[in-house]
């Protein structure tokens, strides 16, 4: 069951990376939500959480995570996966915020609202996408899912930077 939930999150987050986001959103018929403020709050929480995790405080990052994440993975497995990531990628060298998307709900996922955050993180071997799903739980934003994915080169239709002088 945990693997199915994790796969659903991975799929949903991949889809959301390419979808548009409204400036204001309605949340279950209630007053309009200030999505810009919500994104900023979620980003602050996520970046504090990332620092805790980067510092190897896996028990603390696990305990600070949303129950949705804790239901997906056991604490011992969380620490093991992070140690494995660190042994393969080393320490994060730098991390740059790339995007945030607000969603009042997500397909096939209970709860909400959600904010999907994406960062470009440089590790020793390469640059990766870090995708963080946050959700509001007990009135506070918490990390509900975290994934590190290889960067994909731009497709030729998107005007890739592979030619001379094409770098950023």
Domains of the chain: 2-153 (3.10.450.100)
Q: What is the mean pLDDT of residues 142-153?
A: 90
Dihedral sign for Cα atoms in the order 99, 137, 141, 50 = negative
State the pLDDT confidence band at 11, using cuts at 50, 70 and 90: very low
Residue 26 phi, psi dihedral angles, 5° rounding: -90, 140
* Burial (CB count <10 Å: 0-12, 13-18, 19+), residue 137: middle
State the pLDDT confidence band at 52, using cuts at 50, 70 and 90: very high
The pLDDT of residue 22 is 33
The pLDDT of residue 81 is 96
Partners of residue 117 on adjacent β-strands: 100, 132
Cα atoms found within 13 Å of the Cα of residue 146, Cβ hemisphere only: 22
The pLDDT of residue 156 is 61
Chain CA centroid to CA 112, Å: 15
Chain CA centroid to CA 121, Å: 12
Cα 43 to Cα 14, 96, 168, distances in angstroms: 18, 12, 25
Based on its alpha-carbon atoms, the radius of gyration of the chain, rounded to whole angstroms, reads 17
Evaluate if residue 152 carries a pLDDT over 50. Answer: yes
Whole-number percent of the chain with pLDDT over 90: 65
Taking only the tens place, the pLDDT of each residue in 23-40 is 334 444 444 679 999 999
- Mean per-residue pLDDT of the chain: 80
**Euclidean distance between CA atoms 65 and 72, whole angstroms:** 11
Beta strands at 24-26 and 32-34: parallel, antiparallel or unpaired? antiparallel
Query: pLDDT higher for 164 or 36?
Result: 36
The pLDDT of residue 10 is 43
Partners of residue 99 on adjacent β-strands: 118
Whole-number percent of the chain with pLDDT over 70: 71
Taking only the tens place, the pLDDT of each residue in 63-122 is 999 999 999 999 999 999 999 999 999 999 999 999 999 999 999 888 899 999 999 999
Are 125 and 55 contacting, i.e. CB atoms less than 8 angstroms apart?
no
Residue 81 phi, psi dihedral angles, 5° rounding: -65, -40
The pLDDT of residue 154 is 60
The pLDDT of residue 151 is 86
């Amino acid at each position: 069951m945990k693997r199915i939930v994790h796969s659903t999150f991975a799929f949903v987050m991949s889809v959301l990376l390419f979808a548009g986001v409204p400036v204001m959103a309605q949340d279950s018929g209630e007053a309009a939500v200030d999505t810009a403020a919500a994104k900023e709050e979620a980003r602050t929480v996520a970046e504090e959480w990332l620092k805790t995790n980067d510092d190897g405080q896996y028990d603390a990052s696990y305990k600070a995570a949303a129950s949705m994440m804790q239901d997906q993975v056991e604490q011992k497995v969380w620490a093991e996966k992070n140690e494995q990531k660190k042994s393969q990628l080393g320490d994060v060298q730098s991390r740059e915020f790339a995007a945030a998307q607000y969603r009042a709900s997500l397909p096939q996922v209970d709860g909400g609202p959600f904010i999907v955050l994406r960062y470009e993180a440089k590790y020793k071997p390469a640059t990766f996408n870090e995708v963080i799903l946050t959700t509001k739980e007990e009135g506070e934003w918490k990390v509900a899912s975290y994934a590190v994915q290889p960067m994909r080169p731009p497709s030729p239709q998107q005007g890739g930077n592979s030619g001379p002088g094409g770098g950023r």
